[in-house]
Structure 1
Amino acid sequence: MGIEGPFWRAIAVFRIASLGYAAVLLLQAGGYAHPVIGWAVIGVMAAWTAASTYAYSIVAWRGWWLLTMDLLVSAGCLLATPFVQGPTATIGTMPITATWVAAPVLAWGVYGGRRTGAVAAALMSVADLWLRGVRGVDLSAVPVNGAVLMFLAGIVIGHVARLAKQAEERMQRAIEIEAAGRERERLARDIHDSVLQVLALVQRRGAEIGGEAAELGRLAGEQEAVLRELVRSAPRPDRATGPRRRLIPSRRPPAAAVPWTDLSAALRRYGSAQVTVAAPADPVQLAPRTVDELTAAVGNALDNVRRHCGAAARAWILVENETDRVVVTVRDDGPGIPAGRLEAAAADGRLGVSQSIRGRVADLGGGVTILSSAEGTEIEMWVPAGLS
């Protein structure tokens, strides 16, 4: 039902309470000359209370035809007051509808805002004043407290309802922006893990082979630079352009519908003469998506070791299964990361650390700590334990 749902439920409660109040007044027979007609009017009010409550609960039925019918029925019950009270009723006698006539004013305010709420209050007040004028009452002596209260109710409720709608729209837009940002980061990681690395490999191998392969390598290098710039300069969701209207649906199955996966087994495939993997003897069981993302993050960390430290550099992978989290540490014996290198790489569209490592782990609800010195670099990644 959205943010409007509580408003319509509150109006329904107000109708029922006002109907009970009108019935109590009639039961006391204070100033009512024809109580039988009064009970007939109460019956009409009760029937419309039930019908309008049901009609307003259906979003597709909320429209000006229902609002107009609501106002007409309420005004009709109000104008039936002389037939119930008789000609001897005093000025201070409560109309047969009592406070029940304020319900359509509230409904108009919730549906259309403070202006439409004020219009409904004006129409209902005109009906009340016309009723008193027909009965020969001196209008200058008629108290206007009821009309003022209806105006205030229509304007205030309409204003609050409009603010609530705007807040809901902004919340929905924020959700869309966040979803668009996450999808953009995921695509950027996928591009880095596949296309950009292949282009970089073609460029490097082409330069080593020479000849026509060198030209292919040069072209691959140019395309890599262009693609990195596109990834880096793509409109972010917090800019004025807003999120994309259509997001690419996730192809991953729900976490609860898939079995556990052993993280240690997935990381042992990185073991080699240069890479040592140390993991607990017992399986470190996590959701398949978590294992896939952590494995890809570790793979990017090892790619950075080979690229920046050389093929002879040693690396160590340590897996720790703690009580509430799983920690994966990748350490190397390279020269370390120069100060400002990671920030400059992210600004140039090189997403190996900022997205393929930090972004992946952040999406899993974890964190990354990077310690670097002249003796090597240590990247610690942790994620919550369990099917996260």
Structure 2
Amino acid sequence: MQGAGSRSGRVRLARPCENSSVGIQTQLRRAISVFRFVALGYPVLLGALAFETLVRPVEAALLVVVLAAWTGAVSHRYRHRGYEPKALYADLAVTAAAIAASSWALATDGVPISVGPWLAGSVLAWAAAWGRRSGAIAGAVVAAFGMVFRGGVHESTVNEAALLVLTGFVCGHLVRLGVKAEQRMREAAERNAAARERERLARDIHDSVLQVLALVQRRGTEIGGEAAELGRLAGRQEEALRALIRSESYRHPLDGQRDLRELVGRHEGADVTVAAPATPVLLPAETARQFAAAVASAVDNVREHCPASTRVWLLLEDDAEAVTVSVRDDGPGIAPGRLAEAAAEGRLGVAQSIEGRIRELGGTAAVTSAPGEGTEVEMRVPRLTAEAGGAGGDARRGR
């Protein structure tokens, strides 16, 4: 049956047991139901015109009643439960049985009358549920029964076979295109809504938080002493917030990827030097976000625990095998065993915010430090793991 994965570039059609697709497929179910009832007019009209020559007129009338009842029952089931596998298989089986019954009941002087367009109903249902390949297969099955019960291979049955197979294939292809277009429209609407929300948040931040931070920085500088240090920290946070607001990488990309280089570049400032490749370092959006959060935690640790004069160097490297970010500072360093002590005390900044995030992405984080020699945090995520994590990371985190 036809499905799709993100890597193959094919759109994922709804499985028959799913009821989540409420757009184009809901409309198709209704259209196919209308078509099937209208198509019943074909055997009714032919039977009425040739009623006097029918070999079994009573059985022919009963057959039409049964077809109408089945059409109503299966259309109702599709409408309320979606395309369930057992209903689809039953529909195809009833269609095959209708071909056999019509060759016996709808016959004039030994020549069977086809139930015509009604046969395409189950083929269209298969195509709408499972795609073009399944639609073509269903059409071939119905056509094969037609050849068996209506005199073998001749012009009439060959034409009918071609129409049924093409109908299933084309309908399935159009459904595929329609679902893909519907997904793109939904994603575009979500991006627009997210962009509007970001603009609203940016206005709120500018009108409240940024102004307060600017005031704290200015007043702290005027007062001096410990207040000046508080003002300096407020100024850093103000710069970081402004960079976040104006960063283009904060926008949701069309292809679901983020540029880690731009996310890391937000930290560049008077005391932070960033070195990165000249070309974008693209990762799945969630992977890039988690990686950038670990880097931000490492930079924040320097600002929280080191003197104001401490400088930070941030190096981003990208090769065919892995993406590596190193955060190095010239601060006082970390005493041996201090990180283990902090973790035992419940202070999990490095253990969770840095090592935990990188480990969850399938990578490694190493902290190298010595008293008086500064600290270096190296975070490395393999390329294949990072790309796979973009598709499955949310599921691993239980989202």
What range is the shorter-chain TM-score in?
0.5 to 0.7
Q: Quick one: which amino acid aligns to residue 203 of structure 1?
A: Q
**Residue in structure 2 matched with residue 15 of structure 1 by the alignment:** 36
Q: 1:190 aligns with which of 204, 224, 228?
A: 204
Q: Quick one: which amino acid aligns to residue 13 of structure 1?
A: V
Q: 1:85 to 1:19 in 2, by over 3 A?
A: closer
How many residue pairs get aligned? The number is 235
**Residue in structure 2 matched with residue 39 of structure 1 by the alignment:** 61
Q: Map Cα deviations across residues 43-81 of structure 1 (whole Å, 9 max, x no partner).
A: 1101011112211212x3422111111111111111112
In structure 2, distance between residues paired with 1:141 and 1:185: 65
Q: Map Cα deviations across residues 118-176 of structure 1 (whole Å, 9 max, x no partner).
A: 010011011111113xxxx4635664111111111111111111111111111111111
Contact 1:178/1:237 (CA < 8 Å) preserved in 2? no
Contact 2:47/2:106 (CA < 8 Å) preserved in 1? no
Q: Quick one: which amino acid aligns to residue 147 of structure 1?
A: A
Q: Find the structure with the greater CA-based Rg.
A: 1
**Residue in structure 2 matched with residue 80 of structure 1 by the alignment:** 101
Contact 1:200/1:220 (CA < 8 Å) preserved in 2? yes
Q: Quick one: which amino acid aligns to residue 185 of structure 1?
A: E
In structure 2, distance between residues paired with 1:209 and 1:47: 88
Q: Quick one: which amino acid aligns to residue 120 of structure 2?
A: A
Q: 1:81 to 1:6 in 2, by over 3 A?
A: same
TM-score normalized by structure 1?
0.56
Give the CA deviation at 1:6: 2.7
Give the CA deviation at 1:115: 0.7
Q: 1:222 to 1:98 in 2, by over 3 A?
A: closer
**Residue in structure 2 matched with residue 121 of structure 1 by the alignment:** 139
In structure 2, distance between residues paired with 1:226 and 1:108: 54
Which runs of at least 4 in structure 1 moved beyond 4 Å after TM superposition?
Answer: 85-88, 140-143
Alignment gaps of 5+ in structure 1: 244-388
Q: 1:1-388 alignment to 2 at 5 Å?
A: 1-29=22-50, 32-58=54-80, 60-85=81-106, 88-90=109-111, 93-95=112-114, 97-132=115-150, 137=151, 139=153, 143-233=157-247, 235-238=250-253, 240-241=255-256
In structure 1, distance between residues paired with 2:144 and 2:91: 16
Alignment gaps of 5+ in structure 2: 1-21, 259-399
SS of the residue 1:237 aligns to: coil
Contact 2:36/2:121 (CA < 8 Å) preserved in 1? yes
Give the CA deviation at 1:32: 2.7
Percent of residue pairs identical: 46
In structure 2, distance between residues paired with 1:182 and 1:21: 54
SS of the residue 1:139 aligns to: coil
Contact 1:177/1:242 (CA < 8 Å) preserved in 2? no
TM-score normalized by structure 2?
0.55
In structure 2, distance between residues paired with 1:7 and 1:117: 14
Q: Map Cα deviations across residues 63-116 of structure 1 (whole Å, 9 max, x no partner).
A: 2111111111111111112321459423xx532x22211110111111111111
Q: CA RMSD in A?
A: 2.2
